Structure 1
Protein backbone atom coordinates (compact mmCIF):
# COMPACT_ATOMS: atom_id res chain seq x y z
CA UNK A 1 0.00 0.00 0.00
CA UNK A 2 2.82 2.41 0.83
CA UNK A 3 4.68 1.59 -2.38
CA UNK A 4 1.63 2.10 -4.60
CA UNK A 5 0.89 5.35 -2.78
CA UNK A 6 4.23 6.66 -3.98
CA UNK A 7 3.81 5.34 -7.51
CA UNK A 8 0.21 6.40 -8.17
CA UNK A 9 -0.47 9.39 -5.91
CA UNK A 10 2.86 11.17 -6.15
CA UNK A 11 3.70 10.30 -9.77
CA UNK A 12 0.32 11.41 -11.13
CA UNK A 13 0.47 14.65 -9.12
CA UNK A 14 3.95 15.41 -10.49
CA UNK A 15 2.78 14.85 -14.09
CA UNK A 16 -0.33 16.92 -13.43
CA UNK A 17 1.70 19.86 -12.10
CA UNK A 18 3.94 19.82 -15.18
CA UNK A 19 1.02 19.77 -17.63
CA UNK A 20 -1.08 22.35 -15.76
CA UNK A 21 -4.41 21.29 -17.20
CA UNK A 22 -5.67 17.72 -16.92
CA UNK A 23 -5.01 16.30 -20.40
CA UNK A 24 -6.43 12.80 -19.94
CA UNK A 25 -10.08 11.80 -20.58
CA UNK A 26 -12.81 11.93 -17.95
CA UNK A 27 -12.60 8.16 -17.35
CA UNK A 28 -8.90 8.42 -16.48
CA UNK A 29 -9.67 11.29 -14.12
CA UNK A 30 -12.21 9.21 -12.20
CA UNK A 31 -9.95 6.15 -12.06
CA UNK A 32 -6.94 8.12 -10.83
CA UNK A 33 -8.95 9.88 -8.13
CA UNK A 34 -10.48 6.57 -7.10
CA UNK A 35 -7.10 4.81 -6.82
CA UNK A 36 -5.59 7.73 -4.91
CA UNK A 37 -8.34 7.61 -2.31
CA UNK A 38 -8.18 3.78 -2.17
CA UNK A 39 -4.47 3.91 -1.38
CA UNK A 40 -4.92 6.53 1.33
CA UNK A 41 -7.57 4.34 2.95
CA UNK A 42 -5.46 1.20 2.48
CA UNK A 43 -2.33 2.73 3.98
CA UNK A 44 -4.27 3.57 7.15
CA UNK A 45 -6.30 0.37 7.34
CA UNK A 46 -3.24 -1.84 6.80
CA UNK A 47 -1.68 -0.01 9.74
CA UNK A 48 -4.77 -0.89 11.79
CA UNK A 49 -4.48 -4.51 10.62
CA UNK A 50 -0.88 -4.66 11.78
CA UNK A 51 -1.97 -3.29 15.15
CA UNK A 52 -4.66 -5.98 15.48
CA UNK A 53 -2.16 -8.67 14.48
CA UNK A 54 0.29 -7.42 17.10
CA UNK A 55 -2.52 -7.38 19.67
CA UNK A 56 -3.37 -11.04 19.04
CA UNK A 57 0.31 -12.06 19.05
CA UNK A 58 0.96 -10.51 22.47
CA UNK A 59 -2.37 -10.75 24.31
CA UNK A 60 -3.32 -14.20 22.95
CA UNK A 61 0.02 -15.82 22.05
CA UNK A 62 -1.33 -19.40 22.24
CA UNK A 63 -4.31 -18.81 19.97
CA UNK A 64 -4.49 -21.32 17.12
CA UNK A 65 -5.87 -19.07 14.35
CA UNK A 66 -2.80 -16.92 13.98
CA UNK A 67 0.10 -16.49 11.63
CA UNK A 68 -0.27 -16.39 7.87
CA UNK A 69 -4.01 -17.17 7.78
CA UNK A 70 -4.92 -14.37 10.18
CA UNK A 71 -2.64 -11.94 8.36
CA UNK A 72 -4.30 -12.71 5.02
CA UNK A 73 -7.78 -12.19 6.51
CA UNK A 74 -6.79 -8.84 8.03
CA UNK A 75 -5.17 -7.62 4.81
CA UNK A 76 -8.18 -8.76 2.76
CA UNK A 77 -10.58 -6.87 5.05
CA UNK A 78 -8.38 -3.74 4.98
CA UNK A 79 -8.22 -3.60 1.18
CA UNK A 80 -11.92 -4.51 0.78
CA UNK A 81 -12.98 -1.63 3.02
CA UNK A 82 -10.63 0.69 1.15
CA UNK A 83 -12.16 -0.16 -2.23
CA UNK A 84 -15.67 0.02 -0.77
CA UNK A 85 -15.36 3.39 0.97
CA UNK A 86 -13.71 4.94 -2.11
CA UNK A 87 -16.62 4.19 -4.48
CA UNK A 88 -18.22 7.67 -4.03
CA UNK A 89 -15.06 9.14 -5.56
CA UNK A 90 -16.05 7.68 -8.95
CA UNK A 91 -19.22 9.76 -8.85
CA UNK A 92 -17.98 12.90 -7.14
CA UNK A 93 -14.91 13.65 -9.26
CA UNK A 94 -14.66 14.19 -13.00
CA UNK A 95 -13.09 16.32 -15.67
CA UNK A 96 -14.53 19.83 -15.71
CA UNK A 97 -13.68 23.40 -16.72
CA UNK A 98 -13.18 25.77 -13.79
CA UNK A 99 -14.17 29.41 -13.58
CA UNK A 100 -10.61 30.55 -14.37
CA UNK A 101 -10.64 28.59 -17.64
CA UNK A 102 -8.49 25.68 -16.49
CA UNK A 103 -9.54 22.10 -17.24
CA UNK A 104 -8.98 20.03 -14.12
CA UNK A 105 -9.97 16.73 -12.53
CA UNK A 106 -12.27 18.25 -9.91
CA UNK A 107 -15.42 17.69 -7.86
CA UNK A 108 -18.60 17.86 -9.93
CA UNK A 109 -21.08 19.00 -7.32
CA UNK A 110 -22.77 22.36 -7.90
CA UNK A 111 -21.77 24.05 -4.66
CA UNK A 112 -18.55 23.97 -2.60
CA UNK A 113 -20.63 23.55 0.56
CA UNK A 114 -20.82 19.83 -0.26
CA UNK A 115 -17.15 19.59 0.74
CA UNK A 116 -18.07 20.01 4.42
CA UNK A 117 -20.12 16.78 4.90
CA UNK A 118 -17.83 14.88 2.51
CA UNK A 119 -14.61 15.80 4.30
CA UNK A 120 -16.24 15.22 7.69
CA UNK A 121 -17.13 11.64 6.75
CA UNK A 122 -13.68 11.03 5.23
CA UNK A 123 -12.00 12.46 8.33
CA UNK A 124 -13.82 9.97 10.55
CA UNK A 125 -13.22 7.00 8.26
CA UNK A 126 -9.55 7.73 7.53
CA UNK A 127 -8.33 9.49 10.68
CA UNK A 128 -10.44 9.59 13.83
CA UNK A 129 -11.78 6.02 13.92
CA UNK A 130 -8.44 4.38 12.92
CA UNK A 131 -6.59 6.57 15.42
CA UNK A 132 -8.91 5.51 18.24
CA UNK A 133 -8.55 1.83 17.29
CA UNK A 134 -4.75 2.02 17.03
CA UNK A 135 -4.41 3.94 20.31
CA UNK A 136 -6.64 1.53 22.26
CA UNK A 137 -4.91 -1.54 20.81
CA UNK A 138 -1.40 -0.32 21.57
CA UNK A 139 -2.46 0.77 25.04
CA UNK A 140 -3.65 -2.80 25.72
CA UNK A 141 -0.47 -4.20 24.18
CA UNK A 142 1.79 -2.03 26.33
CA UNK A 143 -0.26 -2.83 29.44
CA UNK A 144 -0.13 -6.57 28.70
CA UNK A 145 3.64 -6.54 28.19
CA UNK A 146 4.07 -4.57 31.41
CA UNK A 147 1.98 -7.07 33.41
CA UNK A 148 3.68 -10.09 31.83
CA UNK A 149 7.13 -8.64 32.53
CA UNK A 150 6.25 -8.27 36.21
CA UNK A 151 5.01 -11.88 36.29
CA UNK A 152 8.25 -13.05 34.70
CA UNK A 153 10.25 -11.09 37.23
CA UNK A 154 8.47 -12.92 40.05
CA UNK A 155 9.15 -16.28 38.41
CA UNK A 156 12.78 -15.41 37.86
CA UNK A 157 13.17 -14.31 41.48
CA UNK A 158 12.22 -17.86 42.55
CA UNK A 159 14.60 -19.48 40.12
CA UNK A 160 17.28 -21.75 41.60
CA UNK A 161 20.06 -20.38 39.40
CA UNK A 162 19.34 -16.71 39.90
CA UNK A 163 22.36 -15.36 38.07
CA UNK A 164 21.72 -17.26 34.85
CA UNK A 165 17.96 -16.62 34.85
CA UNK A 166 18.26 -12.93 35.62
CA UNK A 167 20.97 -12.29 33.05
CA UNK A 168 19.08 -13.98 30.24
CA UNK A 169 15.35 -13.60 30.90
CA UNK A 170 15.28 -10.19 32.54
CA UNK A 171 17.34 -8.62 29.82
CA UNK A 172 15.23 -10.19 27.07
CA UNK A 173 11.90 -9.13 28.57
CA UNK A 174 13.15 -5.64 29.30
CA UNK A 175 14.31 -5.12 25.73
CA UNK A 176 11.03 -6.41 24.33
CA UNK A 177 9.03 -4.15 26.63
CA UNK A 178 11.03 -1.04 25.78
CA UNK A 179 10.95 -1.79 22.05
CA UNK A 180 7.17 -2.29 22.08
CA UNK A 181 6.62 0.97 23.93
CA UNK A 182 8.91 2.94 21.60
CA UNK A 183 7.47 1.32 18.50
CA UNK A 184 3.89 2.04 19.56
CA UNK A 185 4.61 5.65 20.42
CA UNK A 186 6.45 6.28 17.14
CA UNK A 187 3.68 4.69 15.03
CA UNK A 188 0.92 6.72 16.67
CA UNK A 189 3.03 9.90 16.69
CA UNK A 190 3.84 9.63 12.96
CA UNK A 191 0.19 8.94 12.13
CA UNK A 192 -1.01 11.97 14.12
CA UNK A 193 1.70 14.32 12.81
CA UNK A 194 1.02 13.46 9.16
CA UNK A 195 -2.77 13.39 9.21
CA UNK A 196 -3.75 16.06 11.78
CA UNK A 197 -2.62 19.13 9.75
CA UNK A 198 -4.34 17.75 6.65
CA UNK A 199 -7.81 17.40 8.16
CA UNK A 200 -7.46 20.49 10.32
CA UNK A 201 -6.55 22.60 7.27
CA UNK A 202 -9.38 21.14 5.16
CA UNK A 203 -11.99 21.67 7.87
CA UNK A 204 -10.91 25.29 8.39
CA UNK A 205 -10.75 25.86 4.64
CA UNK A 206 -14.22 24.41 4.04
CA UNK A 207 -15.69 26.70 6.67
CA UNK A 208 -13.85 29.67 5.05
CA UNK A 209 -11.87 30.40 8.20
CA UNK A 210 -8.52 30.81 6.41
CA UNK A 211 -7.49 33.98 4.55
CA UNK A 212 -6.92 33.64 0.81
CA UNK A 213 -3.26 34.66 0.64
CA UNK A 214 -0.08 33.33 -0.98
CA UNK A 215 1.01 31.88 2.34
CA UNK A 216 -2.23 29.89 2.48
CA UNK A 217 -1.56 28.52 -1.02
CA UNK A 218 1.99 27.43 -0.17
CA UNK A 219 0.82 25.88 3.11
CA UNK A 220 -1.90 24.03 1.21
CA UNK A 221 0.64 22.49 -1.18
CA UNK A 222 2.72 21.18 1.73
CA UNK A 223 -0.15 20.03 3.94
CA UNK A 224 -1.96 18.22 1.10
CA UNK A 225 1.10 15.96 0.70
CA UNK A 226 1.50 15.07 4.39
CA UNK A 227 -0.80 11.99 4.24
CA UNK A 228 1.37 10.62 1.46
CA UNK A 229 4.41 11.31 3.64
CA UNK A 230 2.96 8.93 6.23
CA UNK A 231 3.21 6.15 3.65
CA UNK A 232 6.88 7.01 3.18
CA UNK A 233 7.58 7.05 6.92
CA UNK A 234 5.87 3.74 7.77
CA UNK A 235 8.44 1.46 6.03
CA UNK A 236 11.28 3.37 7.68
CA UNK A 237 9.73 2.85 11.12
CA UNK A 238 9.26 -0.87 10.51
CA UNK A 239 12.88 -1.18 9.33
CA UNK A 240 14.25 0.67 12.35
CA UNK A 241 12.39 -1.56 14.81
CA UNK A 242 12.79 -4.85 12.93
CA UNK A 243 15.95 -6.68 13.94
CA UNK A 244 15.29 -9.57 11.54
CA UNK A 245 16.45 -7.36 8.66
CA UNK A 246 19.87 -7.22 10.25
CA UNK A 247 20.17 -11.00 10.80
CA UNK A 248 21.78 -11.73 7.40
CA UNK A 249 24.46 -9.12 8.11
CA UNK A 250 25.02 -10.50 11.59
CA UNK A 251 25.17 -14.07 10.30
CA UNK A 252 27.75 -13.08 7.73
CA UNK A 253 29.80 -11.36 10.43
CA UNK A 254 29.51 -14.42 12.67
CA UNK A 255 30.48 -16.73 9.80
CA UNK A 256 33.49 -14.55 9.00
CA UNK A 257 34.44 -14.43 12.66
CA UNK A 258 34.20 -18.17 13.19
CA UNK A 259 36.06 -18.83 9.92
CA UNK A 260 38.80 -16.44 10.96
CA UNK A 261 39.07 -18.05 14.41
CA UNK A 262 39.27 -21.54 12.89
CA UNK A 263 41.91 -20.36 10.42
CA UNK A 264 44.01 -18.83 13.19
CA UNK A 265 43.72 -21.99 15.31
CA UNK A 266 44.68 -24.14 12.32
CA UNK A 267 47.67 -21.96 11.57
CA UNK A 268 48.78 -22.11 15.20
CA UNK A 269 48.83 -25.90 15.03
CA UNK A 270 50.57 -26.38 11.67
CA UNK A 271 52.82 -23.34 11.67
CA UNK A 272 56.38 -24.31 12.76
CA UNK A 273 57.37 -22.79 16.06
CA UNK A 274 60.24 -20.30 15.91
CA UNK A 275 63.58 -21.74 16.95
CA UNK A 276 65.38 -19.56 19.40
CA UNK A 277 69.15 -19.49 19.05
Structure 2
Protein backbone atom coordinates (compact mmCIF):
# COMPACT_ATOMS: atom_id res chain seq x y z
CA UNK A 1 0.00 0.00 0.00
CA UNK A 2 3.00 2.31 0.28
CA UNK A 3 3.30 2.28 -3.52
CA UNK A 4 -0.37 3.26 -3.90
CA UNK A 5 0.21 6.07 -1.40
CA UNK A 6 3.23 7.37 -3.35
CA UNK A 7 1.41 7.13 -6.67
CA UNK A 8 -1.55 9.04 -5.27
CA UNK A 9 0.78 11.71 -3.86
CA UNK A 10 2.49 12.18 -7.24
CA UNK A 11 -0.92 12.35 -8.90
CA UNK A 12 -1.94 15.17 -6.61
CA UNK A 13 1.40 16.95 -6.96
CA UNK A 14 1.76 16.78 -10.73
CA UNK A 15 -1.72 16.37 -12.20
CA UNK A 16 -3.80 18.48 -9.84
CA UNK A 17 -1.19 21.15 -9.08
CA UNK A 18 -0.37 21.78 -12.74
CA UNK A 19 -4.08 21.99 -13.60
CA UNK A 20 -4.63 24.53 -10.81
CA UNK A 21 -1.77 26.70 -12.10
CA UNK A 22 -3.02 26.32 -15.65
CA UNK A 23 -6.57 27.36 -14.74
CA UNK A 24 -5.21 30.34 -12.78
CA UNK A 25 -3.12 31.67 -15.68
CA UNK A 26 -5.74 30.95 -18.36
CA UNK A 27 -3.32 30.46 -21.25
CA UNK A 28 -0.47 27.97 -21.17
CA UNK A 29 2.52 30.23 -20.56
CA UNK A 30 5.36 27.66 -20.67
CA UNK A 31 7.25 26.59 -23.85
CA UNK A 32 6.13 23.76 -26.11
CA UNK A 33 8.67 21.32 -24.62
CA UNK A 34 7.28 21.90 -21.12
CA UNK A 35 3.79 21.32 -22.50
CA UNK A 36 4.74 17.92 -23.89
CA UNK A 37 6.63 16.88 -20.72
CA UNK A 38 3.80 17.93 -18.40
CA UNK A 39 1.21 16.11 -20.47
CA UNK A 40 3.44 13.05 -20.66
CA UNK A 41 3.83 12.73 -16.91
CA UNK A 42 0.14 13.43 -16.37
CA UNK A 43 -0.71 10.49 -18.60
CA UNK A 44 2.00 8.35 -16.96
CA UNK A 45 0.37 8.92 -13.57
CA UNK A 46 -3.03 8.24 -15.11
CA UNK A 47 -1.84 4.78 -16.16
CA UNK A 48 0.20 4.20 -12.99
CA UNK A 49 -2.65 4.93 -10.59
CA UNK A 50 -4.60 2.10 -12.24
CA UNK A 51 -1.77 -0.36 -12.89
CA UNK A 52 -0.45 -0.11 -9.33
CA UNK A 53 -3.93 -1.09 -8.17
CA UNK A 54 -3.79 -4.08 -10.52
CA UNK A 55 -0.38 -4.99 -9.05
CA UNK A 56 -1.86 -4.86 -5.56
CA UNK A 57 -4.64 -7.17 -6.70
CA UNK A 58 -2.16 -9.67 -8.14
CA UNK A 59 -0.07 -9.58 -4.96
CA UNK A 60 -3.19 -10.15 -2.86
CA UNK A 61 -4.19 -13.02 -5.14
CA UNK A 62 -0.87 -14.82 -4.59
CA UNK A 63 -0.99 -14.19 -0.85
CA UNK A 64 -4.51 -15.61 -0.45
CA UNK A 65 -4.65 -18.36 -3.07
CA UNK A 66 -1.03 -19.53 -2.72
CA UNK A 67 -0.01 -18.50 0.83
CA UNK A 68 2.83 -21.06 1.07
CA UNK A 69 4.62 -20.06 -2.14
CA UNK A 70 8.24 -19.00 -1.63
CA UNK A 71 8.30 -16.42 -4.44
CA UNK A 72 6.43 -13.77 -2.51
CA UNK A 73 7.07 -10.76 -0.34
CA UNK A 74 9.15 -7.71 -1.13
CA UNK A 75 10.70 -9.21 -4.26
CA UNK A 76 7.35 -9.95 -5.88
CA UNK A 77 5.98 -6.54 -4.88
CA UNK A 78 8.96 -4.77 -6.43
CA UNK A 79 8.68 -6.76 -9.66
CA UNK A 80 4.97 -5.95 -9.96
CA UNK A 81 5.62 -2.26 -9.32
CA UNK A 82 8.42 -2.14 -11.92
CA UNK A 83 6.11 -3.76 -14.49
CA UNK A 84 3.27 -1.35 -13.63
CA UNK A 85 5.41 1.76 -13.96
CA UNK A 86 7.22 0.39 -17.02
CA UNK A 87 3.92 -0.11 -18.85
CA UNK A 88 2.78 3.34 -17.73
CA UNK A 89 5.86 5.04 -19.20
CA UNK A 90 5.61 2.92 -22.37
CA UNK A 91 1.92 3.52 -23.10
CA UNK A 92 2.33 7.27 -22.49
CA UNK A 93 4.97 7.79 -25.20
CA UNK A 94 2.40 8.82 -27.88
CA UNK A 95 1.53 11.79 -25.65
CA UNK A 96 4.91 13.37 -26.46
CA UNK A 97 3.91 13.41 -30.12
CA UNK A 98 0.19 14.12 -29.88
CA UNK A 99 0.20 17.09 -27.51
CA UNK A 100 1.81 20.46 -28.08
CA UNK A 101 1.38 24.17 -27.54
CA UNK A 102 -1.17 25.53 -29.99
CA UNK A 103 -3.55 28.43 -30.49
CA UNK A 104 -7.22 27.51 -30.40
CA UNK A 105 -9.98 28.98 -32.55
CA UNK A 106 -11.04 31.33 -29.73
CA UNK A 107 -7.54 32.83 -29.55
CA UNK A 108 -6.40 31.02 -26.40
CA UNK A 109 -2.95 29.43 -26.31
CA UNK A 110 -3.23 26.01 -24.69
CA UNK A 111 -1.35 22.74 -24.29
CA UNK A 112 -3.61 20.71 -26.51
CA UNK A 113 -3.66 17.70 -28.79
CA UNK A 114 -2.49 18.48 -32.31
CA UNK A 115 -4.53 16.38 -34.73
CA UNK A 116 -4.87 16.67 -38.50
CA UNK A 117 -8.57 16.15 -37.86
CA UNK A 118 -10.68 16.14 -34.68
CA UNK A 119 -11.97 12.69 -35.61
CA UNK A 120 -8.66 11.26 -34.34
CA UNK A 121 -9.91 11.86 -30.80
CA UNK A 122 -12.35 8.94 -31.05
CA UNK A 123 -9.83 6.10 -31.64
CA UNK A 124 -7.36 7.75 -29.25
CA UNK A 125 -9.81 8.03 -26.34
CA UNK A 126 -11.21 4.57 -27.06
CA UNK A 127 -7.72 3.07 -26.83
CA UNK A 128 -6.94 4.98 -23.63
CA UNK A 129 -10.28 3.91 -22.13
CA UNK A 130 -9.48 0.24 -22.72
CA UNK A 131 -5.88 0.48 -21.49
CA UNK A 132 -6.64 2.57 -18.41
CA UNK A 133 -10.12 1.42 -17.39
CA UNK A 134 -11.81 -1.54 -19.07
CA UNK A 135 -8.92 -4.03 -19.20
CA UNK A 136 -7.69 -3.24 -15.64
CA UNK A 137 -11.27 -3.43 -14.36
CA UNK A 138 -11.71 -6.90 -15.87
CA UNK A 139 -8.41 -8.07 -14.37
CA UNK A 140 -9.19 -6.65 -10.92
CA UNK A 141 -12.73 -8.06 -10.94
CA UNK A 142 -11.58 -11.56 -11.91
CA UNK A 143 -8.77 -11.54 -9.33
CA UNK A 144 -10.95 -10.39 -6.46
CA UNK A 145 -13.66 -12.86 -7.45
CA UNK A 146 -11.11 -15.68 -7.10
CA UNK A 147 -9.83 -14.19 -3.82
CA UNK A 148 -13.31 -13.93 -2.33
CA UNK A 149 -14.20 -17.43 -3.50
CA UNK A 150 -10.99 -18.79 -1.96
CA UNK A 151 -11.69 -17.02 1.32
CA UNK A 152 -15.23 -18.37 1.36
CA UNK A 153 -14.14 -21.93 0.51
CA UNK A 154 -11.33 -22.10 3.05
CA UNK A 155 -13.53 -20.63 5.77
CA UNK A 156 -15.74 -23.71 5.55
CA UNK A 157 -12.88 -26.14 6.21
CA UNK A 158 -12.93 -28.07 9.49
CA UNK A 159 -9.92 -27.84 11.78
CA UNK A 160 -8.59 -31.16 13.10
CA UNK A 161 -7.64 -31.18 16.77
CA UNK A 162 -5.51 -34.04 18.08
CA UNK A 163 -5.58 -34.53 21.85
CA UNK A 164 -4.82 -37.20 24.46
CA UNK A 165 -7.71 -39.39 25.55
CA UNK A 166 -8.18 -40.78 29.02
CA UNK A 167 -6.81 -44.20 28.00
CA UNK A 168 -3.52 -42.71 26.78
CA UNK A 169 -4.40 -42.88 23.10
CA UNK A 170 -4.73 -39.99 20.70
CA UNK A 171 -8.20 -38.70 19.95
CA UNK A 172 -9.19 -36.65 16.94
CA UNK A 173 -11.94 -34.07 17.02
CA UNK A 174 -13.20 -31.47 14.58
CA UNK A 175 -14.10 -27.89 15.15
CA UNK A 176 -15.91 -25.44 12.92
CA UNK A 177 -15.42 -21.72 13.54
CA UNK A 178 -18.23 -20.48 11.33
CA UNK A 179 -18.60 -19.76 7.65
CA UNK A 180 -16.12 -16.90 7.60
CA UNK A 181 -13.97 -15.17 10.19
CA UNK A 182 -13.81 -11.44 10.95
CA UNK A 183 -10.43 -11.12 9.24
CA UNK A 184 -11.81 -12.69 6.07
CA UNK A 185 -14.90 -10.49 6.18
CA UNK A 186 -12.66 -7.42 6.46
CA UNK A 187 -10.60 -8.57 3.47
CA UNK A 188 -13.77 -9.03 1.43
CA UNK A 189 -15.10 -5.61 2.46
CA UNK A 190 -11.78 -3.92 1.70
CA UNK A 191 -11.67 -5.51 -1.75
CA UNK A 192 -15.26 -4.51 -2.47
CA UNK A 193 -14.69 -0.89 -1.39
CA UNK A 194 -11.53 -0.56 -3.51
CA UNK A 195 -13.31 -1.89 -6.60
CA UNK A 196 -16.38 0.24 -5.93
CA UNK A 197 -14.30 3.42 -5.56
CA UNK A 198 -12.43 2.61 -8.77
CA UNK A 199 -15.65 2.05 -10.72
CA UNK A 200 -17.47 5.10 -9.33
CA UNK A 201 -14.58 7.47 -10.03
CA UNK A 202 -13.54 6.23 -13.46
CA UNK A 203 -16.81 5.13 -15.09
CA UNK A 204 -18.37 8.63 -15.42
CA UNK A 205 -15.07 10.02 -16.75
CA UNK A 206 -14.69 7.60 -19.65
CA UNK A 207 -18.41 7.39 -20.35
CA UNK A 208 -18.62 11.19 -20.60
CA UNK A 209 -15.53 11.42 -22.84
CA UNK A 210 -16.75 8.70 -25.19
CA UNK A 211 -20.20 10.30 -25.50
CA UNK A 212 -18.61 13.71 -25.97
CA UNK A 213 -16.23 12.50 -28.68
CA UNK A 214 -19.12 10.96 -30.59
CA UNK A 215 -20.96 14.34 -30.30
CA UNK A 216 -23.88 12.73 -28.49
CA UNK A 217 -24.01 15.31 -25.68
CA UNK A 218 -25.60 18.70 -26.46
CA UNK A 219 -23.60 21.92 -26.17
CA UNK A 220 -25.30 23.35 -23.07
CA UNK A 221 -24.25 25.10 -19.88
CA UNK A 222 -25.17 21.99 -17.88
CA UNK A 223 -22.78 19.95 -20.01
CA UNK A 224 -19.96 22.36 -19.18
CA UNK A 225 -20.62 22.16 -15.43
CA UNK A 226 -20.88 18.37 -15.60
CA UNK A 227 -17.58 18.18 -17.49
CA UNK A 228 -15.79 20.18 -14.77
CA UNK A 229 -16.96 17.75 -12.09
CA UNK A 230 -16.60 14.50 -14.02
CA UNK A 231 -13.11 15.24 -15.34
CA UNK A 232 -11.82 15.60 -11.78
CA UNK A 233 -13.25 12.29 -10.52
CA UNK A 234 -10.11 10.24 -11.37
CA UNK A 235 -8.10 12.53 -9.10
CA UNK A 236 -10.69 11.90 -6.38
CA UNK A 237 -9.95 8.18 -6.65
CA UNK A 238 -6.31 8.87 -5.81
CA UNK A 239 -7.42 10.99 -2.86
CA UNK A 240 -9.74 8.44 -1.27
CA UNK A 241 -7.53 5.34 -1.66
CA UNK A 242 -5.33 6.23 1.36
CA UNK A 243 -8.46 7.00 3.38
CA UNK A 244 -9.92 3.59 2.56
CA UNK A 245 -6.70 1.89 3.60
CA UNK A 246 -6.56 3.81 6.89
CA UNK A 247 -10.17 2.88 7.68
CA UNK A 248 -9.43 -0.82 7.25
CA UNK A 249 -6.01 -0.73 8.95
CA UNK A 250 -6.22 -1.95 12.55
CA UNK A 251 -2.71 -0.71 13.33
CA UNK A 252 -3.39 2.86 12.27
CA UNK A 253 -6.80 2.97 13.92
CA UNK A 254 -5.40 1.73 17.23
CA UNK A 255 -2.60 4.30 17.12
CA UNK A 256 -5.00 7.18 16.51
CA UNK A 257 -7.45 5.96 19.16
CA UNK A 258 -4.63 5.68 21.68
CA UNK A 259 -3.50 9.21 20.86
CA UNK A 260 -7.03 10.57 21.26
CA UNK A 261 -7.51 8.90 24.66
CA UNK A 262 -4.25 10.25 26.06
CA UNK A 263 -4.43 13.68 24.44
CA UNK A 264 -6.37 15.36 27.29
CA UNK A 265 -4.42 13.93 30.27
CA UNK A 266 -1.60 15.50 32.30
CA UNK A 267 0.06 18.90 32.20
CA UNK A 268 0.90 20.83 29.06
CA UNK A 269 4.44 19.44 29.05
CA UNK A 270 3.18 15.90 29.64
CA UNK A 271 0.63 16.27 26.88
CA UNK A 272 3.29 17.61 24.52
CA UNK A 273 5.67 14.75 25.29
CA UNK A 274 2.82 12.28 25.00
CA UNK A 275 1.80 13.69 21.64
CA UNK A 276 5.38 13.40 20.38
CA UNK A 277 5.44 9.76 21.43
CA UNK A 278 2.07 9.16 19.77
CA UNK A 279 3.27 10.74 16.53
CA UNK A 280 6.29 8.42 16.64
CA UNK A 281 3.99 5.44 17.24
CA UNK A 282 1.76 6.47 14.35
CA UNK A 283 4.80 6.83 12.07
CA UNK A 284 6.02 3.39 13.11
CA UNK A 285 2.53 2.04 12.47
CA UNK A 286 2.46 3.59 9.01
CA UNK A 287 5.92 2.23 8.23
CA UNK A 288 5.01 -1.24 9.44
CA UNK A 289 1.77 -1.15 7.48
CA UNK A 290 3.38 -0.01 4.25
CA UNK A 291 4.04 -3.51 3.01
CA UNK A 292 1.26 -4.67 0.74
CA UNK A 293 1.24 -8.08 2.31
CA UNK A 294 0.57 -6.89 5.86
CA UNK A 295 -3.16 -6.70 5.21
CA UNK A 296 -3.38 -10.16 3.70
CA UNK A 297 -0.93 -12.05 5.91
CA UNK A 298 -3.41 -12.15 8.78
CA UNK A 299 -6.03 -13.57 6.46
CA UNK A 300 -3.60 -16.17 5.12
CA UNK A 301 -2.61 -17.21 8.65
CA UNK A 302 -6.25 -17.38 9.61
CA UNK A 303 -6.85 -19.78 6.71
CA UNK A 304 -4.46 -22.26 8.28
CA UNK A 305 -6.23 -21.95 11.65
CA UNK A 306 -9.74 -22.18 10.14
Per the TM alignment, residue 252 of structure 1 is displaced from its structure 2 partner at its CA by 8.0
Higher relative contact order, chain-length normalized (CA < 8 Å, sep 6+) = 2
Residues in 1 aligned to 2:224 and 2:32: alpha-carbon distance in whole angstroms: 26
Residues in 2 aligned to 1:19 and 1:249: alpha-carbon distance in whole angstroms: 41
Residues in 1 aligned to 2:115 and 2:46: alpha-carbon distance in whole angstroms: 22
Deviations 1:178-199 (A, max 9, x none): 1111111111110010000001
1:140 equivalenced with 2:146 (yes/no)? yes
Distance of aligned partners of 1:160 and 1:149 in 2 relative to their CA distance in 1, 3 Å threshold? farther
SS of 1:133's equivalent in the other structure is helix
The one of 190, 195, 205 equivalent to 1:188 is 195
Equivalent in the alignment of 2:249: 242
Residues in 2 aligned to 1:12 and 1:252: alpha-carbon distance in whole angstroms: 36
SS of 2:100's equivalent in the other structure is strand
SS of 2:177's equivalent in the other structure is helix
Deviations 1:91-111 (A, max 9, x none): 000000001100000001121
Equivalent in the alignment of 2:171: none
1:228 equivalenced with 2:235 (yes/no)? yes
1:99 equivalenced with 2:105 (yes/no)? yes
1:199 equivalenced with 2:215 (yes/no)? no
Within 5 Å, give how 1:1-277 maps onto structure 2.
1-151=7-157, 154-155=158-159, 170=177, 174-248=181-255
Higher helix share: 1
Structure 1: runs of 5+ lacking an equivalent: 254-277
SS of 1:132's equivalent in the other structure is helix
TM-score, normalization: structure 2? 0.76
How large is the Cα RMSD of the aligned pairs? 2.4
TM-score, normalization: structure 1? 0.84
Equivalent in the alignment of 2:273: none
**Number of residue pairs matched by the alignment:** 247
Per the TM alignment, residue 238 of structure 1 is displaced from its structure 2 partner at its CA by 1.1
